[in-house]
Amino acid sequence: MYHIDGSDYLKEKWYSKTISVCPECLQRIPAEYIEEDGKIWMVKTCPEHGDFKDLISSSARYYKWTHYKTDKWEFLKNGEANPSDVPATDPRGCPWNCGLCPEHLSTCALALIDLTNRCNMACSFCYANIGKAGYLVEPSLEEIDRIMAHFRSKPIPPPAIMFTGGEPTVRKDFPEICAMARKHGFKEVIVATNGYGFQRKKGGLEFTKECYEKGLDTLYLQFDGINNETYEKTRGIKNLMAYKERVVENCRKAELTSIVLVATIARGVTDMEVGNIIQYAIDNIDVVRGITFQPVSLCGRISFEEMQDLRITNADVIQEIDKQTGGAVSIENAWYPLSTIVELGRIMSFLAGVEPVEFTCHPDCGFSTYLVVDPETNKMVPIMEYFDPLKIIDFANQFWEKIKHKEKEPIKIFTDLLGNFGDAGKSLGETMDKGANWLDMQQLRARFLMGMLQYTKKSGKLMDMFTRVLLNARWDSISSFSHGALLISSMHFQDAYNFDVERAKRCIVHFGIAMPDGTVKECSFCTMNSFHRPHIEKLIAKEVTNKIRNEFDTTTGKVRGEIISKEEVVSEIQPNGGIPERKGMEDEV
Amino acid sequence: MPENSSDAQRKFRTLTELKPSTAKEYQDAIVKRVDYFAATGTSTFNNAIENVIVTGASLFLNAKEKIDAMLGDELVDKVHSAIEKILLLF
């Protein structure tokens, strides 16, 4: 496994401590990670509510690999610039001071905005449900603008923004919101969608084209498998596969060539679909860029036995992928924690003079791999076969250690020498220093490229693109590289049972919420969903008016002014986007 | 994989069934994306110097593959280690 087989490190039983919460009262309590039966467990005791035990990783071997460290580097990392937005006033500490507080250790890499809690589906496990909530959560354009400005004003702003919900495309102004994101300077504009706006038989293609033209880059498309039976179990709706295929087809026609398939993985429900999803992505490689598997998070109070039936970990998912791909994507060598590439990213952005992207999330949060097709054998292989990954990581970490001071202290020799000879001398010195810095940058690029190429094993078009990424980490190179490879990742969001404050502190996916007092609250993903959402939503809730109903009214057959047959509505769409029937609303504005 | 009757009717495929054209489709996807950016005129793909370096790196990689195969793993490790030391001299 990853060049560490046979080491004492793998043989030793795992033990570590952290801080978690009681799943009953949500108060902070100490927790321990222990190894039993080849698995990693979290055990904790609440003085009031007793003992709790939850599975963290079904493979102790793999867990230990993701916590492997040398004397030069480790997978657990901290961000470079994380100024807090609010003081830590709650004595309970993380996760109760979100905003962000001074305890947070990572910069936001992906900004999230919940555009609405309306949806055309009513999945039982989803937190965003206007029907259950009884109120509307939907920021205005002014509020969205305020949230975007907040994120882009950070010292290291997130390069990407994702619109979530509910179903974001039920909003009439969705294309306008995409344009707004582009205007704010987000490089990647993403929507997490079940495909609603894009799949419509009448108007879906035009909507897709409009979104693309206004700035939408990527669809995070809810995609639980390729079988209708699977969707019936997960979403309670029949014939959803045709709906999903219309999304893919309309994106293809609109040349929106970046879809990421997002699969919620539940044991015995969708875990048997992982191989099918990978195959579907490969077959549609002209428009599908990646797959994100998300082991389901567990909310509410459940017994230990029930939890063991449902709990599925990242390690389970990647073992299932191993099995269903016939070992082509193996748990033994294909997967690395997202934080692996932190130093690599820092070097490349420094050399290219672009905003860095900081993937300093906790190693337990997510793993990823790139799948590529070897042009010589036409076989799908992990990109690790193209590199010597550990050596590349090792080199990048050492290289960054040597050059990181240059980011803050560029060469100033000539300015210092000639600064005393008046304005002309100072100006000459500055010009000469600019030249010296440029030359220094070129020699650093050459060294870095040489260091990386020596651990590269194969040539070809993909590696040409990789060379370009190393040379000049501009978006066009990165995007083109990603079009020749399939990114597969597994992200396990936390719940109160497996919560670890060390993970929460390093979260890189942050919600932005426009608060009624004119401020923006920035909340990490898992703390928002596990702790803060009910309270925050009550503060920002809006009334469900008739105007809202008319914007998305499928019961009358009118959606965005277009006619859809009753049969189609019934088979695919939850009436009124989940808005409950209520008498006496006709006169509301 | 489950083998019960309803699952047996499902469409399961494995990665051994890749279409013969898959590798080409992957490469076409890159080329199409490169063309898309190049058409803007301001792309890194229009940079002559960078194009020359990329071609050079590609030739280097081709030669390196062959040299590595000739040297054998042990010697390759020693060469890499020596080069790394030089590259990290600051």
CB of A284 less than 8 A from some CB of B:
no
- For residue A344, CA distances in Å to A42, A352, A359, A397 come to 32, 12, 10, 7
**Model confidence, pTM:** 0.87
- Pairing state of beta strands A288-295 and A486-491? parallel
Q: Do A282 and B22 touch (CB under 8 A)?
A: yes
- Cβ–Cβ gap B22/A378 under 8 Å: yes
pLDDT of residue B84: 92
Contact A223, A261 (CB under 8 A): yes
**Tokens 């040539």 found at:** A459
Chain B residues close to A227, C-beta within 8 Å: 10-11
Residue of B nearest to A454 (CA): B80
Sign of CA dihedral A241, A242, A244, A245: positive
Determine contact, residues A456/A469, Cβ cutoff 8 Å.
no
Fill in the DSSP letter of residue A456.
B
**B26, A373: Cβ pair inside 8 Å?**
yes
Q: In DSSP terms, which residues pair with A188 in a beta bridge?
A: A160
pLDDT confidence bin for B16, thresholds 50/70/90: low
B83, A454: Cβ pair inside 8 Å?
Answer: yes
Q: With beta carbons under 8 A apart, name residues in chain B contacting A403.
A: 90
What's the CA gap between A52 and A35, in Å, rounded? 15
User: Residue B72's domain spans which residues?
Assistant: 18-87
Structure tokens at A455: 């651990």
CB distance from A72 to chain B under 8 Å?
no
Which residues from A are below 8 Å from B29, CB to CB? 257, 285-286, 483-484
- Let me know: does A483 contact B27? Beta carbons within 8 Å: no
What pLDDT does residue A376 have?
79
Alpha helices (runs of H) in A70-159, residue ranges in sequence order = 130-133, 141-152
Among the partner residues A375, A380, A449, nearest to B27 by beta-carbon distance? A375
Residues lower than pLDDT 50 in chain A: 553-589
Q: Which residues of A389-409 are buried (b: 16+ CB within 10 A; e: fewer)?
A: bbbbbbbbbbbbeebeeeeee
Contact list, B80 vs chain A (CB under 8 Å) = 391, 454-455
Q: Find the closest chain B residue to A372 by CA distance.
A: B26
In chain B, what residues touch A474 (CB-CB under 8 Å)?
A: 44
Contact in structure between A196 and A169 (CB atoms under 8 Å): yes
Give the minimum alpha-carbon distance from B70 to chain A in angstroms, rounded to a whole number. Answer: 14
CA dihedral A90, A96, A97, A103 (to 10 degrees): 100
B62 domain-assigned: yes
Across the interface, which of B17, B33, B88 has its CB nearest the CB of A399?
B88
ipTM: 0.83
The pLDDT of residue A570: 38
Task: Supply the DSSP string of chain B, one letter for each residue.
Answer: ---SHHHHTS----GGG--TTHHHHHHHHHHHHHHHHHTTSSSGGG-HHHHHHHHHHHHHHHHHHHHHHHH-HHHHHHHHHHHHHHHT--
Q: How far apart are CA A391 and CA B80, in angstroms?
A: 10
Task: Give a yes or no: residue B47 inside a domain.
Answer: yes
Strand partners, A337: A367
Token duo for residue A19: 């801080």
Tell me how many domains chain B contains.
Answer: 1
The total number of residues written for chain A in this structure: 589
A103 vs A88: CA distance, rounded Å: 8
Please state, in angstroms and rounded to a whole number, the distance separating the CA atoms of residues A147 and A410.
34
pLDDT of residue A550: 63
What is the pLDDT, as a whole number, of residue A299?
65
Is B7 inside any structural domain?
no
CA distance A110 to A161: 6
Question: Residue A546, exposed/middle/buried by CB under 10 A (0-12, 13-18, 19+)?
Answer: middle
Query: What is the rounded distance in angstroms from the CA atom of residue B89 to the CA atom of residue A40?
Result: 41
Task: Enter the DSSP assignment of A37.
Answer: T
Which of A163, A168, A235 has its CA nearest to residue A196? A168
A282 contacts B44? CB cut-off 8 A: no
> Across the interface, which of B15, B31, B88 has its CB nearest the CB of A278?
B15
Q: What local confidence, expressed as pLDDT, does residue B4 receive?
A: 42
* φ, ψ of residue A334 in degrees (nearest 5): -100, -20
Q: How far from chain centre, in Å, is Cα A109? A: 8
CB interface of A with B, residues 425-484, below 8 Å: 447, 449-451, 453-459, 461-465, 467-468, 471-472, 474, 476-477, 479-481, 483-484
Respond yes or no on whether the N-terminal peptide bond of residue A6 is cis (omega within 30° of 0): no
How is residue A145 written in tokens?
């603008």
Length of chain B counted residue by residue: 90
Could you tell me which residues are beta bridge partners of residue A31? Answer: A18, A44
SS3 A512: strand
The answer, for A387 touching chain B at a CB cutoff of 8 Å, is no
Interface test mutation site (partner A, options B25, B44, B51, B76, max chain A beta carbons within 10 A): B44
Task: Please compute, for residue A304, the number of CA atoms within 13 A of its CA located in the half-sphere on the CB side.
Answer: 9
Q: Is residue B82 part of a domain?
A: yes
How far, in Å, CA of A532 to CA of A524, rounded? 10
d(CA A460, CA B27): 10
Taking CA atoms, what residue in A is nearest to B1?
A272
CB A158 within 8 A of CB A180: no
A118 contacts A130 by C-beta, under 8 angstroms: yes
Subunit contact A450:B87, Cβ cutoff 8 A: yes
CB spacing of B88 vs A398 below 8 angstroms: yes
**Would you call B84 and A471 a contact, using CB atoms and an 8 Å cutoff?**
no
Nearest in space to A344 (alpha carbons), one of A464, A197, A452, A272: A452
For residue A333, give the amino acid letter: N
| A509 close to A524: Cβ distance less than 8 angstroms | yes
Residue that wins the pLDDT comparison between B8 and A47: A47
Residue B13 lies in a domain: no
CA distance B31 to chain A (A): 8
- 3-state SS, A563-581, equals ECCHHHHHHHCCHHHHCCC
Tokens of A187: 């490089």
Residue A469 sits at the vertex; the CA angle it makes with A463 and A472, to the nearest 5 degrees, is 140
